[in-house]
Structure 1
Amino acid sequence: MLDTIPAPPPEHETPDPPGDPLGRLAELCARHRRPLLAGALIVLLLAAVVVAGAKDRWSNGGFTATGTRAAEAERVAARYGADAADLVFYVRADKPVDDAEVAEAGRRITALVAGRPGVDAAQSYWTTGSPLLRSRDGEGALIRVDLAGSERDGAVASRALVPAVRKAAAGLRVTATGPAWLNAQATDESERDLERGELLAAPLTMIILLLAFGSLTAAAIPLAVGAVSVAGALAVLATLTLTMPITVFAINICAALGFALSVDYALFIVTRYREELSRGVESRRAIALSMATAGRAVLFSAATVALCLSALFVFPLELLRSLAWASILVVGISSLTSLLVLPALLAVLGPRLDRLDPFRRFRRGRGRVGGGSPVWRRIATLATSRPILCGGTAAVLLLVLALPFLHARFTTIDEKILPKSSEPHRTAQLLRADFADPPERIIPVILPRANAATDAPAIDAYARRLSALPHVAHVLADTGDYRAGLPVRTSELPASPPEATAADGTTPAVERPAAPPEPGRPAVVGSVLRVVGTADSQSPDTVALVHRLRALPAPQPHLVAGKAAELTDTKHTLRAALPYGVAIMLVGTLVMLFLFTRSVLVPIKAVLMGLLSMIASLGAIVYVFQDGHLRRLVGDFSTGGTLETTMPLLTLAVAFGISVDYEVFLLARIKEEFVRTGDNTRSIVFGIEHTGRLFTAAALIVAATMVALTMSHVTLLKTVGVGLAVAVVVDATVVRGVLVPALMRLTGRANWWAPSWSLPRRPRDTGAKLPDARTEAHPELVGQAADSAADGIDRPAG
């Protein structure tokens, strides 16, 4: 049973919170401001050197699930030369590729490629005679290259290999594609995008902060904190590349996320600091009070965002786990910079924070962040006076924004992440157009234990059944070419694995499982049947074909490799892990918000609001990047009617965390006023009125930073930028401004109900002053009767 606590007096003066650890930390930082700021400057200078030294250490892959059947099949396929090539050269001539002069040049180029550092093997039409490597018109051929080492090593090797091949191919036209060259080009593009993004985000943020604070000095402080946060985070990430794979896309994403969050955190703290100064509080004490209140909320919010991002660890994709580590790190550094560097900066400036105000003569005491906003007061009043109409309208709007998500289709990374003008993209499109059997349509089916000589009848019967499956164009096997269940001609593919020219120009043997030879003839163990589909690897028909290939009985255990199989298994793995990731976000957020608010209903409401923001963001991503709308607004990009799987997951985790982040600051202000007045509706209006402009500025800062990502030429980065920009703007306006006040008005005083077992023990004399520890338990209510708040007040005294 909850007790009734006498309502505290209406004064707004914030008492000094003795014993508060963040307050003491702020005082310590203010006292030692010079060494702290000198250290921050050193971080800025060293970060550029550290990040530049990690250029070739960033990871480029990790977009497919590990530990799947397709991953195992791909490893086995590599032993037979049937795996997907790391690098593909498309060589065009003005005459047939079988011409003696062209063939000689082709063999020479293939030998050159095989002899380059970082190349395991190379094979081409001129060394294998495979029809799969010759174009329809006979004037083009492919060179397939297997690169040594990791995906990162392959990208590094391709940067040297591609120019060398072009230089050697005199009289021939050579273009390149494949995962290694795609990764190298995407890495280079993302680095250029980072420079452009910084040049765009910083001025936009400065303008927003100047309009919000009305002072060049005050506006510069969050920018300085953001710069130190990003520099420190990137330096730590670059160092981590020595011990673990960190995706190259973490540079752009974490720079944008770190800058946005650190500027937002600084905005909240500086706003509270200015409020304390406006009440006549001395500068040092105002710093301590600001850190004990807004600083505590920043720390809690950062922990919540990090918790949401930790949900990415349940997905067995190297890219997502890499981004989870990087994002959690940048969130932590952003909050620590706000808690350490910001007090030092405020101590240096003190009351001079509002100097250089270009709008002073026009302001007349209004318009700065932190004060009440008449516009947001009217919006909140309308939402609380007609909660069903306003709340229902807002909910319908969010659901309409989410509608496109109903037809979302997901895939793995391909050349469409780069512009159509990029070489990997152009070459991949040429392969689809010029070759009867483009490489991506080939699905290797491997019989590791088969003997091509002794098991020929069984292989023949199996190939016939495979070729009769729906969406199969034909099957190339050791025993021939099959279409619609019948043999067509003798296969031009060699019965043994395709020849590969090694560094010394010889044809090395491909490693195979050992098997006892048949008397009188050597045995070739293992057989590869190349199933050529009728659609691209991302097509639903091809995915269905993969399931049929796995289900069709084979003469012995078989494996299905290829890009379509990887896509199928990756999607299945993500679907299986998704409920666990969502559970981590939701349950963790519920627990943390319950501890923060001492309320049962408010955390549930906050989670629902976060989910609405998430699905609205997903709908926007599908509408733009899958359906291909708003190109003029976000810049040109390629779409195949699908979405890459990993970036929407990252966007959802960050968007949900930021939504809860804003909820924390709003609830702190609403509950503060509720404890002071006991009026639920008035408290809601007061909270929206005094945080609406702050949230608008914070959301615009995040959106401005994400706009820099939308200007990227890499579609993956565009996806994150658009998704987060939509999420924060919708959350700060529709959700915080309309839906939250409407719902809180409907639930009334039940907002702050909590079971008695969850409340701290109260002293017998409820009118007595509570000890400081109680104040520390709820710093968001410092100065607003922390004694009542700590008891989880249900109803104020009338």
Structure 2
Amino acid sequence: MSTTTPTRSGSRAGWFDRLGAFTVRRRRLVLVVAVIGVVVAAVVGGGVFSRLSSGGFDDPGSESARAADQLLETFDAAPSDIVLIARSVDGASVDTAEVAAAGAALAQRLAGQGDVRDVTSYWATGAAAMRSTDGTLALVTARLTETGDAAQERAGELAEELSGFTDDGVLEVRVSGSPVIFAEVGSTIEKDLVRAESIAVPVTMLLLLLVFGTLVAAGLPAIIGAVAVLGSFLALWTITQFTDVSVFAINLVTALGIGLGIDYALFMVTRFREELARGRTPDEAVIRTVRTAGRTVVYSGITVAISLSALLVFPQFFLRSFAYAGIATVVLAVIAAVVVLPAALSTLGTKVDRFRVLRSTTEVRDDGFWFRLSHAVMRRPWPVLVGGVALLVALGLPFFNVAFGQTDDRVLPASAQAAQAGEWLRTEFDSRESDPLTVVAATSTVSPGTVGSYAAQLSEVGGVARVDSVNGSYVVGALVADAGPAAARFVAESGTGTWLSVVTDVEPYSAEGRELVEDLRAIPSPLGETLVGGSAATFADSQTAMGERLPWAIGIIAIATFVLLFLFTGSVVLPLKALVLNTLSLSAMFGAMVWIFQEGHLSQWLGGFTVTGELDTAMPILMFCIAFGLSMDYEVFLLSRIKEEYDRTGDNAAAVALGMQRTGRLITSAAALLAIVFIAFATSGVTIIKMMGVGVALAVLVDATLIRGLMVPAFMRVMGDANWWAPAWLKRLHDRFGISEGDADEDDVRDLRDDTVVVG
């Protein structure tokens, strides 16, 4: 059997023509390489889950991080990795003989683990801070010899082994500690991924059948989505060889891989079927598809990658991980769509429409629902524009009540063991005692008088309940307890350096906590360089780091997006419009974050997550970058077709109507598919993943309907031909360097047809 395929693209055809010709000419090679790559990605990339890290919410270069490092290196002091909360089953006091014996046995069992050190229990020390306020619970704490991911894995094993009832039935035990919490988060996310995929894949397949009507055409986008996901797993596995990657980022890989892979393939397959319907041969249709839809897919992918790359300016590896994962996923989705998919389309040819199960059409119509809708909007653009802005502002109003916090065990389901342990710690114990601030002077010469004077000053700061030091304990400037044997921990073995424990009466992850840290740092230290650490300080430093870098992230997104859209359209008005409307479209997402997840509305419909009255500060930043990139993705698809029609006709209103007609159905279908993938993550047991799923799905749907369907045509009608304005010098720049989807003229088509050979 013979087919015709271009050997070269002709003098007028550009890079995308050559790419299209290559995928046609080397289709077998492309498909074989793709299959091999997918197999390798599945085998090797599947191991990425065991290499992902927990946490990453802190600034590693901050004062609080340095304080923690010095505390560990100089004084061998650190927060406990393992915290056992033991409750007497019959409600008896932990001081009774039977409960005390069971508690001592529990502590001994923990101490018997080879990789556990510094085991301390209430029954050994009698410390009041380790006994609950009602006397029925007590603590056993320990540190692990392992660090990092190994500590997390081991903590998960110990939690599984020790939680539940003791063998004698006297105590019920729950296990907490940062490594324990994130070990449970990681295992929960793995289970959630399976559930989300089991929901998203069948539903998206059904929608693809509704769009295409045939099994073959509908199956291609699903295959491309799978290629993007598996390839991204391999890319992420490679990245973990060089830096930490957060376990949370794996959710973005799955959502973007499936969503964008399907979206891009949807545009490519639709354009290919349109070209076949126009009478082109399969090879010509592939080249035209790559030249038009493929070009737009590439630049759409660039807009998403730009938005995600802005996360790299933040020091927290939680945020940076989403940049690594997102950029890798976008790149692979684009490559799969413009290289692998065209090779598959060239191989299938007209068989792309085989196995029809639903009636569908590839007829290219210049009138239809979206054409009529755009004309209706453009007849009364001002009411649509003003009404749309008012609605989006109203939806975003709850965000003015936002309160920021930081992720802890409450991101887990209330039924999770670690979440129950955390609840016991918060409600049954004096949390001020178990989570103090630390003031570290690692290089000072220890002078009792100087240390005492400084501790007294610190204890007078509002929000400080007590300061413990090598001299003793201070309250409101007065020494209330002399130093005991435990005070030796405040001095290094070398005799140089000291640290102080500052017990507070404020919530660490709060505005009051931040203010207290600032007040403590403002007090001149007589001990030389001092560093303030602890949970409140970590939170304060993290907020500061994100606040300082947020303008840079926004600037990167705004400038890069403006430049890209200018190169695409030759206008300075349309990029500004896109930036304003896309940002406005996200107001609904931000309002929903506060109304649902901070205030708790609809929580019973979303799995009954724990409402803390706060949002993790990193989440609005993360979701802005993701949702903004996806919004610009659809902006590029729409503007490319409008620009194509405007260049052809010079009629702004007609170009808007035809551009809407050609892309409206595809954009809404793509948005629905992407929203389904993200909303599937609303079933997650981890609250911040649930938040990302709900928020991004809402943003995508609002953008594809209210923004693209109503506000864009209204704005472009109001502006008229001014939409396409740019200063003369920028016009000349665009003429030289500009990019657009564009249709090939007849000379180009003849060049491509003439430039073919017969291959067998």
TM-score (normalizing by structure 1): 0.86
Look up the equivalent residue of 1:194 and give its one-letter code.
Answer: L
Counterpart-to-counterpart distance in 2, 1:107 and 1:444: 29
Question: Hey, what does 2:3 align to over in structure 1?
Answer: none
Counterparts of residues 740-759 of structure 1 (less than 5 Å): 740-759=712-731
Counterpart-to-counterpart distance in 2, 1:562 and 1:306: 35
Question: Hey, what does 1:781 align to over in structure 2?
Answer: 742
Moved more, 475-484 or 60-69: 475-484
Give per-residue Cα distances to partners, 1:704-735, cap 9 Å, x unaligned.
00011111111121122122111111111111
2:158 to 161, 166, 172: 161
2:488 is equivalent to residue 496 of structure 1 = yes
Counterparts of residues 115-126 of structure 1 (less than 5 Å): 116-119=113-116, 121-126=118-123
Question: Hey, what does 1:286 align to over in structure 2?
Answer: 285
The 3 A distance-change label for structure 1 pair 384 and 118 is farther
Question: Hey, what does 1:144 align to over in structure 2?
Answer: 141
Q: Which has the higher helix share?
A: 2
2:82 is equivalent to residue 87 of structure 1 = yes
* 1:136 Cα deviation after fit: 2.4
Contact 1:369 1:693 in 2 (8 A): no
* 1:439 Cα deviation after fit: 5.3
2:563 to 591, 604, 613: 591
Counterpart-to-counterpart distance in 1, 2:710 and 2:164: 63
1:471 to 459, 463, 466: 463
* 1:674 Cα deviation after fit: 1.5
Counterpart-to-counterpart distance in 2, 1:465 and 1:786: 84
Contact 1:16 1:289 in 2 (8 A): no
* 1:298 Cα deviation after fit: 0.6
Moved more, 561-570 or 607-616: 607-616
Give per-residue Cα distances to partners, 1:262-310, cap 9 Å, x unaligned.
1111111111111111111111100100100110111111112111211
1:692 to 664, 670, 693: 664
Look up the equivalent residue of 2:714 and give its one-letter code.
Answer: A
Give per-residue Cα distances to partners, 1:534-569, cap 9 Å, x unaligned.
232123222222222222344424332111110011
Question: Hey, what does 1:532 align to over in structure 2?
Answer: 503
Question: Hey, what does 1:6 align to over in structure 2?
Answer: none
2:38 is equivalent to residue 37 of structure 1 = no
Q: Secondary structure at the match of 2:601?
A: coil
Counterpart-to-counterpart distance in 2, 1:437 and 1:567: 16
Question: Hey, what does 1:207 align to over in structure 2?
Answer: 206
Counterpart-to-counterpart distance in 1, 2:161 and 2:605: 39
Give per-residue Cα distances to partners, 1:307-358, cap 9 Å, x unaligned.
1211111111112112211111111001001111111221232112223333
Question: Hey, what does 2:406 align to over in structure 1?
Answer: 412
Moved more, 175-184 or 486-495: 486-495
Question: Hey, what does 1:445 align to over in structure 2?
Answer: 439
Counterpart-to-counterpart distance in 1, 2:11 and 2:397: 48
Question: Hey, what does 2:227 align to over in structure 1?
Answer: 228
Counterpart-to-counterpart distance in 2, 1:162 and 1:55: 20
2:388 to 391, 394, 402: 394
1:562 to 534, 537, 550: 534
Counterpart-to-counterpart distance in 2, 1:42 and 1:359: 33
Question: Hey, what does 2:6 align to over in structure 1?
Answer: none
Question: Hey, what does 1:768 align to over in structure 2?
Answer: none
1:49 to 24, 38, 43: 43
Contact 2:396 2:588 in 1 (8 A): yes
Question: Hey, what does 1:421 align to over in structure 2?
Answer: 415
Question: Hey, what does 1:4 align to over in structure 2?
Answer: none
Look up the equivalent residue of 2:296 and give its one-letter code.
Answer: A
Counterpart-to-counterpart distance in 1, 2:520 and 2:77: 17
Contact 1:672 1:784 in 2 (8 A): no
Counterpart-to-counterpart distance in 2, 1:632 and 1:372: 46
Look up the equivalent residue of 1:531 and give its one-letter code.
Answer: V
Look up the equivalent residue of 1:21 and give its one-letter code.
Answer: W
Moved more, 94-103 or 470-479: 94-103
2:433 is equivalent to residue 436 of structure 1 = no
* 1:118 Cα deviation after fit: 4.2
Look up the equivalent residue of 2:338 and give its one-letter code.
Answer: L
The 3 A distance-change label for structure 1 pair 239 and 338 is same
The 3 A distance-change label for structure 1 pair 432 and 451 is farther
Contact 1:43 1:231 in 2 (8 A): no
Contact 1:480 1:487 in 2 (8 A): yes
Contact 2:396 2:590 in 1 (8 A): yes
The 3 A distance-change label for structure 1 pair 35 and 403 is same
Counterparts of residues 227-376 of structure 1 (less than 5 Å): 227-360=226-359, 371=365, 374-376=368-370
Contact 1:481 1:488 in 2 (8 A): yes
Counterparts of residues 162-181 of structure 1 (less than 5 Å): 162-166=159-163, 169-171=166-168, 172-181=171-180
Give per-residue Cα distances to partners, 1:455-503, cap 9 Å, x unaligned.
1x444444444344333333444444444444544566711129xxxxx
1:130 to 127, 130, 133: 127
The 3 A distance-change label for structure 1 pair 781 and 320 is same
Counterpart-to-counterpart distance in 2, 1:260 and 1:373: 29
Moved more, 127-136 or 415-424: 127-136
Q: Secondary structure at the match of 1:445?
A: strand
The 3 A distance-change label for structure 1 pair 615 and 118 is farther
Counterparts of residues 172-191 of structure 1 (less than 5 Å): 172-191=171-190
Look up the equivalent residue of 1:535 and give its one-letter code.
Answer: V
Task: State the percentage of identical aligned residues.
Answer: 38
Aligned length, in residue pairs? 734
Counterpart-to-counterpart distance in 2, 1:140 and 1:464: 33
Look up the equivalent residue of 1:158 and give its one-letter code.
Answer: A
2:706 is equivalent to residue 707 of structure 1 = no
2:377 is equivalent to residue 383 of structure 1 = yes
Q: Which runs of 5+ in 1 are unaligned?
A: 1-14, 499-509, 516-524, 763-772, 788-798
1:621 to 589, 593, 608: 593
Contact 2:472 2:487 in 1 (8 A): no
Contact 2:463 2:516 in 1 (8 A): yes
* 1:233 Cα deviation after fit: 0.9
Give per-residue Cα distances to partners, 1:125-172, cap 9 Å, x unaligned.
344443322222334322222234543122111122234445995333
Question: Hey, what does 2:756 align to over in structure 1?
Answer: none
2:63 to 62, 69, 73: 69
Look up the equivalent residue of 1:89 and give its one-letter code.
Answer: L
Look up the equivalent residue of 1:257 and give its one-letter code.
Answer: L
Contact 2:119 2:142 in 1 (8 A): yes
Moved more, 242-251 or 307-316: 242-251
Give per-residue Cα distances to partners, 1:360-380, cap 9 Å, x unaligned.
3xx6x5xx6965563322321
Counterpart-to-counterpart distance in 2, 1:689 and 1:55: 43
TM-score (normalizing by structure 2): 0.90
Contact 2:405 2:510 in 1 (8 A): no
* 1:230 Cα deviation after fit: 0.7
The 3 A distance-change label for structure 1 pair 252 and 283 is same
Contact 1:373 1:693 in 2 (8 A): no
Contact 1:64 1:412 in 2 (8 A): no
Q: Secondary structure at the match of 2:489?
A: coil
The 3 A distance-change label for structure 1 pair 158 and 377 is same
